[in-house]
Structure formats: structure tokens, C-alpha cells
Amino acid sequence: MQRYKTVAGYFTSNQRFTFVGHAGLGRHGGTLILSEAASSEQDARKIIIKYSYGQLALDKQSDADEQLRNEYQWLKRLRGAEHIVQLIDMADCSLHLPGISDGEATYEESLQKQMGKMAATGYGSQTSAIAPVRRCPTFALEYLEYGTLHGLKKRLYTNVQPWIPDRVLWSIWLCMVRQCVAMAFPPDIPDDQYFGQIIREVMQDRPYTQLAQNSAHTNNFMFGTPTLQGNEHEPNLPVVKVRYPARKSLIYRLLLWQKEDVKESYLILVIAHRLRPGEIRGWENGAAAFMRLCCLQGFRDESYRPLNAPIPYTWTDGSGTHTIPTLAPRILWEEDLMDAQLRHLLVRIMAYPYELKPSLSDVLKETEMAMTKDLGESDDFVLSFMQHWLYNPDESW
């Protein structure tokens, strides 16, 4: 906690900023929420500050500062993508500062060390001598006002609300699929052509990037006000954006919970181009996070863990009866308070072997088509649900 107070102290020394809270702590850094007062250039707003732990990072095998800079470079490539949290230009942030620590355990220890150096050189006798606030690499992100998938899930579970309208679930899922499309085909808008424009993600006839979400837990998917129109946002449904993408070189860590032969099979598939790099893990992780919102009967992580070995799953649709081996957990198989088509799709995405999974293109097409079908839920019904559970929830929950 001391780290975020140190970072927040730098920004709040400027009267324009007020510290609101911390938005999360990760392996390499953390996030702050700041409130920025209105000025002649800009309206009052909340912003997210992402910072590095520097040498205080728990993962001693990584360069936390460099990880933050790498994340920024990918987010810059994703500027303009509708379903990715967007960077904000902010003069108070810098990527090119050293880490938050020179090895001290706390900020107070850092001050003591610097004061000791000043005293040793003859400048420490003046009581007014105060070491400067340490700074670390930071960048700014847009703030999304309606919270995270985790927050919504917890609110529903705590209040024993066992289902979400299917129109809402399909809308959220389409946003998450389009996140994967964005990471497969980043906009890569040059600096001199980027003016804050937002672009809807579409499949493209070019190689996929090596980018996927390697921390696809429910706190990394956030609800906000949509910028573009579309039936996935009707009636007045939010946009869902993902934050913190990562290079594909980090994805393999996610395979360690599986058997070694599964890991090797995936690597072979990528090398042979039987499945496109970055495609598999992008939406498989998204499906695992989304599944928690579909299956509200459980909350513990064990309920949502993939199976150790695939089990045949059989379903029937308009084209006949189908069976596929899948690692999807039982909680998803047994969920009957959601649209069956959506359940079948999530189970198929968790199929094993990997070549049995639907392609990202097919997932996008099926999801877009599902948004056009009549699910028997009126606009008033959907809006009432969203107002009650997301837009204006009881603060006591």
C-alpha cells in the first residue's frame, strides 16, 4: 500500500488532482484513480494512473519498469479500438523515469537513505532539507464509470440474483469477442493521424499479431458508456473494454496449469500455423472470465477451473446433434438460466484438442447473428435490470 501512496503523492502535490482510490495491484505495478479538476483546456474527469513497482516488484526475474513500457507500446498500437481501454495524453506522466525504489523496503527508508547521503556531504544539517518524492514510470488511461465484471458478479451473487438477461449476456460477449479482434488486428494509427477517433474492430485479411490478454480475470473487463452505436448497445447497454494486454511471449505461462503434452500440442499448432498465433488464448481466456457472469450459482475459483481431461459434450441445434470433447467445467454444462446457444458456444471454445475450437471469425459471426434474434426480453425489462444492478446499484451492497 505504501507504493500507491508514494505515487499518488506526486500527483496530488498538484492541486489539480485529488486521490480517489487504488484500482488494483498486479505483479509488476498498480493503478490509481485520480480526480482531475476542470480547466480551460478540459472538463473535470476521473483518470486511471498505471505505475511500475520498479525494484520493489515481487517478481525479481522481470524488469517491472520495462514491462510497463511494453504495455504502453501495445496500448498505443491499440489506440482507437472500440473495446480496448484507451490511453490519455498527460504531461504529468512519464515512461522514462527510473523505478520507485533503489532497493528500500518503504518510502520512509528511501527518505532516510537520501537524508543520510545529504548529511554525509555536509548538507544535512539544515532542517528544511527534504528528499524529493520518488517518481516511477507511469501512464494514464481512461476511467470507465460502471466498474468491472467482478464487481457486477459479486453484487449479483451476494444478493442471490441467479441470472442475467440473455440480451445483456450476448451484448457483453460480443464486446469481449471484438476485444480479441482488436488484439489480432490492432489499428496501429500513426501519431500524425490519431485525433481520438474510435474504430469498431473487424476481421482483416492479414496476419494476426502476437497479442492476447494474458490476465483475463474479471477485474480486467470494465463497463463504460459506448462511443459508437450498434445493436449490442441497445437499449442503452454499456460497452465492455479490456485493459492490460500482453505480448504472446507471456501467454505460455498460462499453459503451466495444464499437462505438458497440452502445452507442447499448442506450441506445435502455432508453429505449423494450423491455428493462428494469438487466436486461441485470446478468446479462450475471455470465455473463461465471461463464464463467471453466466453461472451465478458459484463464486469460488474451483467451480470455474477447466477440467483436467476433456469430456464429451453433446448438444442439439438447428443443424442436428453434435458432440465435442471439452475442458469446460461442469458449472457451465449445467447452467440452464442462460441462452442455450451461448452456452454451447462457450463450451466449444473450451474444446480440446485445440483444432476442434471454432475460429475467431466464426465466433464473431455467430455472436453478431445472435444479437439479431428475438430472445423474448423487452427493452423496458432489460433497462430495468441494468439500472438496478449496474447503473444505480444500492450503495449498501
Up-side HSE of residue 70: CA atoms within 13 Å toward CB?
A: 15
Same domain, 192 and 316: yes
- State whether 157 and 28 are in the same domain: no
Q: Are residues 48 and 173 in the same domain?
A: no
Q: Where are the alpha helices (DSSP H) in the chain?
A: 2-12, 64-77, 107-120, 149-158, 166-184, 260-272, 279-294, 330-333, 340-349, 360-370, 379-386
Domain count across the chain = 2
The pLDDT of residue 244: 64
State which residues form the domain around 231: 147-391
* Judgement on whether residues 206 and 324 belong to the same structural domain of the protein: yes
Name the 3-class secondary structure at 142: strand
249 and 169 within one domain: yes
- pLDDT for the residue 56: 64
Return the pLDDT at 240. Answer: 92
Instruction: With H, G, I as helix, E, B as strand and everything else as coil, classify residue 211.
Output: strand
Please give the model's pTM, rounded to 2 decimal places: 0.81
Residue 121 forms part of a structural domain: no
**pLDDT, position 238:** 94
Q: Would you give per-residue pLDDT tens digits along the chain (397 residues)?
A: 566 677 777 787 788 889 998 887 776 778 889 999 998 888 999 999 998 877 666 666 667 788 888 889 889 999 999 999 999 988 888 887 665 545 444 444 555 666 676 667 654 444 334 444 456 788 999 999 999 988 999 999 999 999 999 999 999 999 988 988 888 889 999 999 999 999 999 999 888 776 766 666 788 889 999 999 888 888 889 999 987 655 433 333 222 223 233 332 222 222 222 334 344 444 455 677 788 888 887 766 677 888 889 999 999 988 999 999 998 888 999 899 999 999 999 999 888 887 888 888 888 999 999 999 999 999 999 999 999 999 998 765 5
Whether the CB-CB separation of 5 and 107 falls below 8 Å is answered with yes
Q: Cα 142 to chain center, whole Å?
A: 13
Asked if residues 296 and 163 have their Cβ atoms less than 8 Å apart, the reply is yes
> Contact, 109 vs 117, CB < 8 A?
no
Q: Is residue 397 part of a domain?
A: no
Residue 110 belongs to a domain: no
Q: What is the CATH number of the domain that holds 12?
A: 3.30.200.20
Residues 6+ apart with CB under 8 A from 78: 84, 182, 183, 186, 187, 245
Cα Rg, the chain, nearest whole Å: 23
For 74, 144, 184, 193, 244, the CA distances from 212, given in Å and listed in that order, are 10, 21, 8, 25, 10
> Of 141, 168, 198, at which residue does a domain stop?
141
What's the pLDDT score for residue 131?
41
Residue 382 lies in a domain: yes
Note the pLDDT of residue 265: 28
Residue 269 lies in a domain: yes
Of 141, 171, 196, which marks where a domain is finished?
Answer: 141
